[in-house]
Chains A and B, each alone.
Chain A
C-alpha cells in the first residue's frame, strides 16, 4: 500500500507513474507517485535451511545439523542457507560481516565516518574567517597541522572527495599562522632585549 506521507491516507490510483500531481483524498496535498514492481511482489524473502539428510553431507559451521549450501567468500567456512549473507554478489557469514563492519572493510555496512580533512581545514581557517578571534590560532594552527599530518592516509568520505587538497590547504594555512606567531614572538623578544 502506498500512502500519503502527510496524513497516511491511501493515495489516488489514477495518477500512478504518470508524472502528474494529484491531490490526496484526505489532506489535499499534491502527490506524484512512482510505483515499482517490488510494491506488488508477494515473494516471501524467508529462506529455510534444509536439515542434514545424509551423514556424509557437509554441514554448516554454525548449525552442524543443517546442510551447507555455500562457502563463505571471506573465511571459507561452510554455511547453510540461513547463515549465508549475500552482499554485492559475494557470500559471507555473519562473523565475517560483523568483523568487516568493525574493521570498516565493508563500506556498504558503514553508516558514519569522521572527516579529518574537514576538521583540519576548519581549524586552519577558523582564525582567518573569524578574524576577531585570531588569537585562537595559537591553538588551532598547530592542531590543524598535526591532524593533517597524522590523518594524511586516514579514510575520508565514502563518496569522491578532495581529501588531499583539503589537507594541503590546512597545512599551508596552519604553517603560515605558526610562522606569523614565530615572527611575532621574535620581534617581542628582540625588542624587549634591546
Chain B
C-alpha cells in the first residue's frame, strides 16, 4: 500500500527560492510528485498519469527580463563603486562590489539555462503549474522522461487517433469551440494559512525604512533603541510570514516579496552588527569596556555620530531606508492586489 521511497526517480530541474526552500519533481511508476519545500517541511502534490489530459509548455520572458536587469544593475553598481573607491567612501564601494559579485554569480548560474518557460498539467478537474520545470533546457530533458511515462499508462495519441481527438475536442458542438475562444475557468482559492503575518509584516517593513531615514537626521538614544527593537521585531515577523505562507495560496510574487523583506532585514542587521564591531575596534581607545558591554551606553555613543557629515554612512543609511521602503510598499501593493483578485 505504501509507496517505497526508492521507487521515486528525480525529474530534472530544481528551483531554489530567494532565501529558503526549493521546488522539485519526482516520478513514481504511476504518478508525478511535486515537492514544495520550505526548508523545514515539504508539501506534496500528486498527478496520476491516468488522469493527465495534456501538458502545456509556454515560453515566458522572465529570464530575459531578469538577466537584463541584473546585467544593468551589476554594471551600474560596479561603476558607481569604482567612482567612490579612493577616499572616505571606500567602505561603501566595497559594499557595492560585493552586491555586484553576488549578482554576477546569480547571472552566471541562470544564463546557461536558456529561455524561461512554464509547464502546466491539465487534468479533468485542475490546471496546475510545475514550478521545478522553469527553463527550456530543463523542460526538454524532463519531457523526454515524463511523456513516455504517461504514454506507458494511457497509450499514445498519434496519427489518425490524434486527428479524431482534435476534431472531438474542438469541433463537436457546431464549431462553437474553435481555437481562440476564451473559456471561463473558476478560480480555486487555497485556504489554510493565516495572512495576519503578511498584513503586519509589509507595513512594518515600510516603517522600518522610514525609521532608518529619520535616524539620519534625528538620533536621540531612545529613538535608536526603539528603531533597533522595531527592526528586530520586523525581521521576526517577516520570517514567520515566510514560514507560514506555503499553504496560504498567495501568489509567487507576494511570497517572494515576503522573503525579500526578511532577506533585506537580515542583510541590514548583519551590516549593523559589523559596523558595531568595527566601531569597537576603531574607537577602542575612546570607549571604556563598560560602554561596549552596555547596549544603552552604545546607543548614547551612536547618537553622537554625525551621519550627515560622514558620506559613506549617509549613503549606506539612504540605500537601506530606500530598499526597506520599496520592498514594504511593493509587498503591500502586491498583497492587496492578490487579495482582490
Instruction: List the 5 closest A-B pairs by CB distance, nearest first.
Output: A25-B180, A39-B53, A30-B59, A32-B57, A34-B55
- Chain A nearest CB, measured from B48 CB (Å): 9
User: How many residue-residue contacts, CB under 8 A, span A and B?
Assistant: 180
Interface string of B132-171 (1 = CB under 8 A from A): 0000000000010001001100111110011011101110
Q: In the complex, which residues 6-40 of chain A have their Cβ closer than 8 Å to any Cβ of chain B?
A: 6-13, 16-17, 21, 25-26, 29-40
**A36 surroundings in chain B (CB, below 8 A):** 52-55, 150-151, 154, 157
**A115 contacts B41, CB within 8 Å?**
yes
Q: In the complex, which residues 100-150 of chain A have their Cβ closer than 8 Å to any Cβ of chain B?
A: 100, 105-108, 110-115, 118-119, 122, 130, 132
Interface string of A31-51 (1 = CB under 8 A from B): 111111111100000000000
| Complex CA distance for A1 and B56, rounded to whole angstroms | 12
Interface residue ranges, B against A (CB under 8 Å): 1-3, 5-6, 8, 10, 24, 26, 30-31, 33, 35, 37, 39-46, 50-60, 118, 120, 122-124, 127, 129, 143, 147, 150-151, 154-158, 161-162, 164-166, 168-170, 177-185, 270, 273-274, 277
The residue among A5, A25, A157, A159 with the most chain B CB atoms within 10 A of its own CB is A159
**A33 contacts B56, CB within 8 Å?**
yes
**A17 contacts B158, CB within 8 Å?**
yes
| Complex CA distance for A13 and B169, rounded to whole angstroms | 9
**B170 surroundings in chain A (CB, below 8 A):** 1, 10, 13
Apart from A39-B157, A160-B5, list 17 A-B contacts with CB within 8 A. Answer: A2-B54, A4-B56, A12-B179, A17-B162, A21-B57, A26-B182, A29-B60, A31-B57, A34-B54, A36-B157, A38-B51, A39-B165, A111-B45, A113-B41, A122-B39, A157-B5, A159-B5
| Complex CA distance for A6 and B270, rounded to whole angstroms | 41
18 A-B residue pairings within 8 Å (CB atoms): A4-B58, A5-B129, A9-B183, A10-B180, A17-B158, A21-B57, A35-B53, A35-B165, A36-B53, A36-B151, A36-B154, A38-B52, A90-B1, A111-B43, A113-B44, A114-B41, A132-B274, A159-B5
**A100 surroundings in chain B (CB, below 8 A):** 1
**A108 surroundings in chain B (CB, below 8 A):** 2-3, 31, 46
At the interface, yes or no: A183 with Cβ under 8 Å from chain B? no
| Complex CA distance for A39 and B39, rounded to whole angstroms | 36
**A179 surroundings in chain B (CB, below 8 A):** none
Specify the main secondary structure of chain B where it touches its partner. mixed
At the interface, yes or no: A87 with Cβ under 8 Å from chain B? yes
**A9 contacts B44, CB within 8 Å?**
no
Given contacts A5-B118, A26-B180, A29-B59, contact A40 B39 (CB under 8 A): no
Interface residues on A, range: 35 or more
| Complex CA distance for A113 and B37, rounded to whole angstroms | 10
| Complex CA distance for A108 and B48, rounded to whole angstroms | 11
At the interface, yes or no: A3 with Cβ under 8 Å from chain B? yes
At the interface, yes or no: A189 with Cβ under 8 Å from chain B? no
Chain B residue nearest to A35 (CB atoms) is B54
Given contacts A38-B51, A40-B165, A159-B8, contact A5 B56 (CB under 8 A): yes
At the interface, yes or no: A88 with Cβ under 8 Å from chain B? yes
**B178 contacts A118, CB within 8 Å?**
no
The residue among A11, A12, A90 with the most chain B CB atoms within 10 A of its own CB is A11
**B179 surroundings in chain A (CB, below 8 A):** 9-13, 25
At the interface, yes or no: A53 with Cβ under 8 Å from chain B? no
